[in-house]
Structure 1
Amino acid sequence: MGKRDRDEGKLAAPQAPFNAALARLKERLPEGWSPPAEAEPAPEASAAPPAKGPARAVVRLERKGRGGKEATVVEKLALAPAALSAWADELKRALGCGGAVEEDAIVLQGDQRERARRWLEAKGVRKVILG
């Protein structure tokens, strides 16, 4: 008996008791009933413009003092410590890498300069300098 012969019985359609139960439920529905359509979100009358990010950021690659491993450092964001931590978490999640906040800079594992630059520009940073 080959593998295909063993698996054929697993993909069979549901048996009669299951179909009969659905048929009984369908009979209980009122006439003309149809599933509800997805509700469209109401347009906001006073849609606020997207929040502006910091004026600039410097993104550079660093190897010194890190055991030869590459780290991308994002600095000069001029954000409050809580906001900097939130940005670091969001940036790490978006890029799929590890990292931390060191003093007033976000440090990411690996060479993430281009990806970080694109993310920062999308976030509203007006000038991103690759150093």
Structure 2
Amino acid sequence: MGKRDKKPEAPAAPAPFHNPFAALGLNREALPPGPPPAPVKAAAPARGPARAVVRMERKGRGGKEVTVVEQLELPEAERETWLKALKGSLGCGGTVEGDTLVLQGDQRERLPALLEARGVRRVTVG
């Protein structure tokens, strides 16, 4: 009965497998040199809106605090991109209401530094 309990052993894997590119490594010195690497251009600093006004409000929101970012004057598609980046950096939710960004919670202390890093030249906290 002991013989039935044993499973047949799997065959051992063959030593080195066939590598079709192995011969290329032997002829590396004979190959012509490639083109020189392209020069890396320094990225220009991001130019964002000239101004942003940051304020906190509760009125009309069931007592919940939200931080409102106004006067960014960004195109609609860019507003969505900015909102997504700010939400990820702050770890909060938010939405676009008209031409303002609305972020959940009181973010007045942390938000100005993030806006300046994105290129806003003047941030007013109200």
Q: Distance in 1 between matches of 2:60 and 2:73?
A: 24
Between structures 1 and 2, the one with greater helix share: 1
TM-score after normalising by structure 2? 0.69
Which protein has the larger Cα radius of gyration, Structure 1 or Structure 2? 2
Question: What whole-Å deviation, never above 9, does each CA across 1:16-53 have from its counterpart, x for those lacking one?
Answer: xxxxxxxx9xxxxxxxxxxxxxxxx97614x2311211
Q: In the alignment, residue 70 of structure 2 is paired with which amino acid?
A: E
Question: What whole-Å deviation, never above 9, does each CA across 1:48-92 have from its counterpart, x for those lacking one?
Answer: 311211000000000100111100000100000000011001100
Q: Which residue of 2 aligns with 1:125?
A: 120
Q: Which residue of 2 aligns with 1:87?
A: 82
**Residue 77 in 1 paired to residue 54 in 2?**
no
TM-score after normalising by structure 1? 0.66
Identity across the alignment (%): 65
Question: Structure 1 runs of 4+ off > 3 angstroms?
Answer: none
Q: What CA RMSD, in Å, does the superposition of the two structures yield over aligned residues?
A: 2.7
Q: Distance in 1 between matches of 2:39 and 2:95?
A: 38
**SS of the residue aligned with 1:106?**
strand
Aligned residue pair count: 105
**Residue 102 in 1 paired to residue 92 in 2?**
no
What 5-or-longer segments of structure 2 have no aligned partner? 1-15, 17-36
Q: Distance in 1 between matches of 2:38 and 2:90?
A: 32
